[in-house]
Amino acid sequence: MKEKIKAAYKKYKALIYIILGIIAFILLWWLLSLTLKTSLLPSPLKVIVSLGPLLADSYTYISIGWTLLRLFTSVVVGFVLGSILGIFGALNKAFYNFMRPFIIVLRTLPTATIIYLIIALSRTVIAPFIIVFLIVFPLCYEALISGIKSIDENIIMALKIDGTKTLRAIYRIYLPLAWPNLILGLVTSLGLGMKVCIMAEILSGDNIPGLGRLIYLYYMNVDMDNILAISLIAIILIGLTDIAIHYAKKLLQKYTTKNG
């Protein structure tokens, strides 16, 4: 019996601690709402109750769809372009140095500055796409470079001695070994991208559909219950995406091992 419990604990250890972390967060939120006693920080129960009418409203799903469309489109473009240029940057020192100023500017420029600048310079409808791309691209670019540079020097030397062609080395060696860093960059991009996308939608005002527009409208009515409920929806969406990526990564690893 003890052995079964130990085996189950070992198998679900990560999930158990994630659940405990969620419980601790909700308790802390509940204690803060009790202590502060302000409508600006409603209790978790009030926010959960507010989810009911929101989930029953079809416009909520239209808003979710628009936000996810902007997020996934921008992340996919940023991920693909960042990965391609990341390969060049990792294998070519001159290209890496050429890209450094662009990456440093994108990484260090305040997010609010990027958002206001893009909204001012472009059409409001496409602004969130551009903003999320500019935030995501350097993350994916640097994730792949970091992954390739962390590959054992002995493997790199073996490739040079064997005279393995660059394209074959990228497909068979560099990408599989850099994959964990790339996945981490992708997950980080999705979480940060969601926040930035919603922020851009909010600052665009009542002009474009999305979760940000809903938050903006509820903010104008000082309705913190619904604002936090929408934020909770965004967190759940990113959590589900994270889980999907985790299982997709496992399936890909199994496929690679089977056909490797």
pLDDT for 192-250, tens place per residue? 888 888 888 888 777 788 998 899 888 888 889 999 999 898 888 888 887 777 776 66
The letter for the amino acid at 61 is Y
Q: Based on the domain organization, do 147 and 125 belong to the same domain?
A: yes
67's tokens? 């936000």
Domain that holds residue 253: 43-259
Q: Based on the domain organization, do 138 and 86 belong to the same domain?
A: yes
Q: Based on the domain organization, do 133 and 152 belong to the same domain?
A: yes
pLDDT for 85-144, tens place per residue? 988 888 888 999 999 999 999 888 888 888 888 888 877 788 889 999 998 999 889 988
State the chain's mean pLDDT as an integer. 83
Tell which residue, 198, 235, 233, 239, has the closest CA to residue 216: 198
Give the 3-state secondary structure of residue 56: helix
Q: Based on the domain organization, do 210 and 224 belong to the same domain?
A: yes
| Least confident residue range of 35-44, 233-242, 251-260 | 251-260
pLDDT number for residue 161:
61
Which contiguous run of DSSP H or E holds residue 109? Answer: none
Q: Based on the domain organization, do 8 and 109 belong to the same domain?
A: no
Q: Based on the domain organization, do 6 and 126 belong to the same domain?
A: no
- Give the burial string for 92-128 (b: 16+ CB within 10 Å, else e): eeeebeebeeebeebeeeeeeebbeebbeeeeeeebb
Q: Based on the domain organization, do 51 and 31 belong to the same domain?
A: no
Question: Is the separation of the CB atoms in 139 and 192 below 8 Å?
Answer: yes
Q: How many domains does the chain have?
A: 2
Q: Based on the domain organization, do 209 and 173 belong to the same domain?
A: yes
Q: Based on the domain organization, do 143 and 246 belong to the same domain?
A: yes
Question: Is the separation of the CB atoms in 154 and 200 below 8 Å?
Answer: no
Q: Based on the domain organization, do 11 and 74 belong to the same domain?
A: no
Question: Is the separation of the CB atoms in 98 and 181 below 8 Å?
Answer: no
Looking up residue 211, the CATH number of its domain turns out to be 1.10.3720.10
Q: Based on the domain organization, do 30 and 65 belong to the same domain?
A: no
Using CA atoms, how far apart are residues 199 and 141, in angstroms rounded to an integer?
23
Query: Could you count the other beta carbons within 10 Å of the beta carbon of residue 210?
Result: 26
Residue the block writes with tokens 């129960």: 45
Q: Based on the domain organization, do 12 and 72 belong to the same domain?
A: no
